[in-house]
Amino acid sequence: MNRRTIRISRLRSATMVSVGAVAVALSVVPSTVAVADAMQGSSGDRAAPHLRANNAPTGAIADAIRRAGSEGQAVVQGGDHDHQGKQGKQGKPGPQGPQGPQGAQGAQGAQGAQGAQGAQGAQGAQGAQGAQGAQGAQGAQGAQGAQGAQGAQGAQGAQGAQGAQGTVGSSYVNTVTALGTATVNCDGNDVATGGGALTTTPLTGSYPIGGTTVTPPTGWQGIATGAGVPVTAYVVCANVTP
């Protein structure tokens, strides 16, 4: 351990105590004595210096010691106690550094939940009329319609010419009863000279049958209103068979 004592007797003197790159400048007045202790270990490294004043430091000495203490470069010893200097004020912020490079693209986030259904939109304008379509195929034939009502009776026709004198013969009546429609005929080649039909409902038809426009009829037919209604047809026949 080495100890070096420097006595200041002039108006202005400077004492430098360094540990590495640390230096403390002292400005003193006459009759002020500063003692600097430098502690050196066995490894050759120097410990932080201790600045000790025989008398209370004043003026520039006190300021220098306080600054050294606040920067951690020295420990001020006054009397029997050591006093560490106050923390110095924080320096001004330095200039803003350059912008760093753009970071790598992050991973794709998870798919969000489905949003709520939106409100119904307003009704759109009516579109233009489309072109006429092609004609469709002909439909199937419909079912046969119901039989129409019996027409009104026609006017009486003009009287025909008198026929030739017939032979004297006999006549007879044949009848047939059936449901809905009854048909009755004369026997053999005999001809009908009259006839009719009887039923409980109005007749829809009662007329001679057989023969042609130049030959006499050979029977009679009666038609009732309703297929299940009984009807009786009768025919008056002339016996012309030899």
| pLDDT of the residue at 22 | 38
Q: Are 33 and 57 in contact (CB under 8 A)?
A: no
Helix, strand, coil distribution of the chain in percent, nearest 5 = 5, 30, 65
What is the chain's length? 242
Number of Cβ within a 10 Å radius of residue 225: 17
Residue 132: HSE in the Cβ half-sphere, 13 Å Cα cutoff: 3
Strand order in the sheet with 191-199: 171-179, 230-238, 191-199
242 residues of the chain, pLDDT tens digit each:
444 444 444 334 333 433 333 333 334 333 333 433 434 444 444 444 444 444 444 566 666 656 655 555 444 444 444 557 788 888 889 999 999 999 999 899 899 899 899 999 999 999 999 999 999 999 999 998 888 888 888 888 888 888 877 666 789 999 999 999 999 999 988 999 999 999 999 999 999 999 888 999 999 999 999 889 999 999 999 998 77
pTM over cut 0.85: no
Q: Are 144 and 194 in contact (CB under 8 A)?
A: no
| pLDDT of the residue at 67 | 67
Q: Are 198 and 220 in contact (CB under 8 A)?
A: no
- Of 49, 56, 45, residue with least CA distance to 18: 49
| pLDDT of the residue at 63 | 67
Strands 191-199 and 230-238: antiparallel
| pLDDT of the residue at 179 | 95
**DSSP-assigned letters across all residues of 6-51:** E---SSS------BTTB-------TT--EEEEE-B-TTSPBPPPEE
- For 1, 42, 176, 220, the CA distances from 45, given in Å and listed in that order, are 12, 8, 157, 158
